[in-house]
């Protein structure tokens, strides 16, 4: 539907139902969801585009067996966001899902020129999720874009982040190990994420059970640096004990 809106700027219930071979009641429900997410404005019998760049919307990756776990983590992460906050994300599938859910919340109203939410993005694909929402202020770090994670790295990214401050930083990870902490595949990405962590009041780690015990190349931060850890799947007792000793709040989903 967003692709159609890019060119037509207006859609009717009847034409979408015919084009997609679904019922009109299904289309109406989808239109309501799109308006709630501030992606379109409903009119009599259809929707019209709002002034956003639909063509920038990223295409979700194919589903795999970890998708359900990632979506549960993303859902809990988005619930931790409060309207008006300044939040940050590093790159990754879980953080992308969390950002998508956070910026589409219906309670993020922009009032008196104040954004409903400010999102500081270390990854280009997350920026494209956020910029679609008129009530969300999107801040993109400069730098060199990594080809697989879409993360922005290098001196420009770190210099920009040194002048910014966050209420909450959401940290995705490739590995989660008691000794190595949170890790990723790029030392350049890890460096930018560490600065974002250091400039945030609250640091929320996001992980699925398959990340536990895995060590990637570059260290992001020790587990004890987190204020919260949202995790889907079984949590080993040694990790649970370490979180308790470090006063890290555990959110099991």
Looking up residue 186, the CATH number of its domain turns out to be 3.40.50.1360
pTM over 0.85: no
Say yes or no: 113 and 138 in one domain: yes
Does 51 or 130 have the greater pLDDT score?
130
Please say if the pLDDT value at position 124 is more than 70. Answer: yes
Residue 36 lies inside a defined structural domain of this protein? yes
**Residue 25: CA atoms inside 13 Å, Cβ hemisphere, count?**
0
Say yes or no: 105 and 80 in one domain: yes
Say yes or no: 234 and 111 in one domain: yes
Say yes or no: 15 and 98 in one domain: no
Mean pLDDT of 211-229: 97
Say yes or no: 172 and 80 in one domain: yes
Q: Over the Cα atoms of the chain, what is R_g?
A: 19
What is d(CA 192, CA 121) in angstroms, rounded to the nearest whole number? Answer: 11
What is d(CA 30, CA 1) in angstroms, rounded to the nearest whole number? Answer: 9
Mean pLDDT of 78-95: 97
Say yes or no: 115 and 228 in one domain: yes
Residue 121 lies inside a defined structural domain of this protein? yes
Give the mean pLDDT of the chain: 91
Residue 223 lies inside a defined structural domain of this protein? yes
Residue 29 lies inside a defined structural domain of this protein? yes
Residue 59 lies inside a defined structural domain of this protein? no
Say yes or no: 248 and 157 in one domain: yes
Looking up residue 5, the CATH number of its domain turns out to be 1.10.10
pLDDT at 63: 52
Say yes or no: 32 and 85 in one domain: no
Say yes or no: 169 and 224 in one domain: yes
Between the alpha carbon of residue 239 and those of residues 66, 206, 223, 229, 245, the distances in Å are 20, 14, 9, 11, 10
Each residue of 75-100: b (16+ CB within 10 Å) or e? Answer: ebbbebbeeebbbbbbbbbbbbbbbb
Mean pLDDT of 90-103: 96
Residue 55 lies inside a defined structural domain of this protein? no
Say yes or no: 149 and 88 in one domain: yes
How is residue 174 written in tokens?
A: 């490739």
Say yes or no: 44 and 79 in one domain: no
pLDDT at 55: 46
pLDDT at 59: 46
| pLDDT band at residue 52 under the 50/70/90 scheme | low
Residue 102 lies inside a defined structural domain of this protein? yes
| pLDDT band at residue 57 under the 50/70/90 scheme | very low
Q: Which residues pair with 203 in a beta bridge?
A: 169
Say yes or no: 36 and 128 in one domain: no
Please say if the pLDDT value at position 230 is more than 90. Answer: yes
Please say if the pLDDT value at position 217 is more than 50. Answer: yes
Residue 19 lies inside a defined structural domain of this protein? yes
Does 193 or 52 have the greater pLDDT score?
193
Mean pLDDT of 97-118: 91
Segments forming the whole domain that contains residue 10: 1-49
Rounded to the nearest 10 degrees, the angle between the axes of helix 24-36 and helix 13-20 is: 110
What total of structural domains would you count in the chain? 2
CB 169 within 8 A of CB 121: no
Please say if the pLDDT value at position 13 is more than 60. Answer: yes
């Amino acid at each position: 539907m967003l692709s159609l809106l890019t060119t037509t700027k207006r859609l009717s219930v009847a034409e979408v139902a015919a084009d997609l071979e679904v019922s009109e009641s299904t289309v109406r429900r989808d239109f309501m969801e799109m308006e709630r997410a501030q992606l379109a404005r409903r009119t009599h019998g259809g929707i019209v585009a709002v002034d956003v760049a639909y063509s920038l919307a990223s295409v979700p990756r194919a589903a795999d067996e970890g998708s359900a776990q990632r979506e549960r983590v993303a859902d809990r992460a988005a619930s931790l966001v409060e309207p008006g906050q300044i939040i940050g994300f590093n790159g990754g599938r879980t953080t992308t899902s969390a950002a998508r859910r956070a910026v589409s919340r219906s309670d993020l109203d922009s009032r008196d020129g104040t954004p409903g939410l400010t999102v500081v993005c270390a990854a280009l694909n997350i920026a494209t999720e956020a910029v679609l929402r008129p009530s969300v202020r999107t801040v993109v770090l400069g730098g060199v874009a990594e080809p697989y994670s879409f993360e922005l790295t290098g001196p420009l990214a770190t210099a920009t982040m040194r002048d910014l401050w966050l209420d909450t930083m959401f940290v995705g990870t490739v590995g989660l190990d008691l000794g190595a902490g949170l890790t990723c595949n790029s030392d350049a990405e890890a460096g930018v994420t560490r600065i974002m962590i250091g400039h945030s009041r609250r640091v929320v780690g996001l992980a699925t059970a398959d990340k536990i015990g895995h060590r990637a190349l570059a260290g992001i931060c020790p587990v004890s640096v987190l204020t919260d850890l949202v995790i889907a799947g079984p949590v080993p007792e040694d990790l649970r004990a370490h979180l308790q000793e470090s006063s890290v709040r555990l959110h099991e989903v």
